[in-house]
Amino acid sequence: MDARRSSPSALRNRGPIADVLERVLPPSGLVLEIASGTGEHVTFFARRMPHLTWQPSDPDPEARASVAALLADEERPNVRAPMALDAAASGWPVERADAIVCINMIHISPLASLDGLMAGAARLLPVGGPLVLYGPYKIGGVHTAPSNEEFDAWLKTRDPRWGVRDLELVIDVASEHGIELLERIAMPANNFVLVMRRG
């Protein structure tokens, strides 16, 4: 059975996200991707940025199988095998990273995952190391588009702990762990990239 998964949204947004990553990621080193999902982001980024080593991760074994299947097809030497990693866990199976990328996880997980992500970034990143987030956010408690409001309501039917987060909440949780916001970049489809760094 083919383990590869595909996400139409990942195929649409990976190019614009990569444009930002090429500008804000370091010139070399290890990039840890949290919640790699289908693997279509990390394999694309690895092609665009072969000077970086990429470490995909996901708590879902089916997601990791999809990443592994894509890697088997492409044989990307700068992408490591996907690892099991739960952002909410107090310990991660990796000791350091030069950058962390997390796409579309914060709204599809409990708030504990947001806190765990920031705590993990504070442990792993060097001073000044970037943490790059992508997804939808409310600003001042208000959705930025009707489609995001509908998406938020749908997420809550899946799991009441899920939902589009307030940007201010994300910034506050990051600050508690010594992570500061550098840039908020508007993206297609009413999403944002948040470029943060460990202070």
Residue 2 included in any domain: no
* Residue range(s) defining the domain that contains residue 103: 8-198
**Is residue 119 situated within a structural domain?**
yes
With respect to residue 1, please indicate whether it lies within any of the assigned structural domains.
no
Q: Which residues pair with 133 in a beta bridge?
A: 102, 194
Give a yes or no: residue 3 inside a domain.
Answer: no
pLDDT, tens digit, for every residue of 92-105?
Answer: 999 999 999 999 99
Measured between alpha carbons, how far is 158 from 101 in angstroms, rounded to an integer? 25
25 CB-near residues (< 8 Å, 6+ apart): 31, 49, 52, 99, 130, 132
Asked if the structure places residue 138 within a domain, the reply is: yes
pTM: predicted TM-score of the whole model, two decimal places? 0.96
Looking at residue 152, its pLDDT comes to 96
More confident residue, 2 or 113: 113
Kindly write down the DSSP assignment for every residue of 51-85, as one continuous string.
TEEEEEB-S-HHHHHHHHHHHHHH--TTBPPPB--
Question: For residue range 67-92, what is the model confidence (pLDDT) as tens digits?
Answer: 999 998 887 899 999 999 999 999 99
CA contacts within 13 A on the Cβ side of 63: 21
pLDDT at site 1: 56
Task: Kindly indicate the confidence band of residue 163, based on its pLDDT and cuts at 50, 70 and 90.
Answer: very high
Quote the pLDDT of residue 179: 98
Q: Is the pLDDT of residue 2 over 90?
A: no
In a domain, 37, yes or no: yes
> C-alpha 158: how far from its chain's center?
20
Instruction: Give residues with Cβ within 8 angstroms of 9, minimum separation 6.
Output: 104, 189
**Between residues 3 and 17, which one has the greater pLDDT?**
17
Q: What CATH code is carried by the domain that includes residue 50?
A: 3.40.50.150
Q: Is residue 180 part of a domain?
A: yes
Answer yes or no: is 74 within a domain.
yes
Domain count, the chain: 1
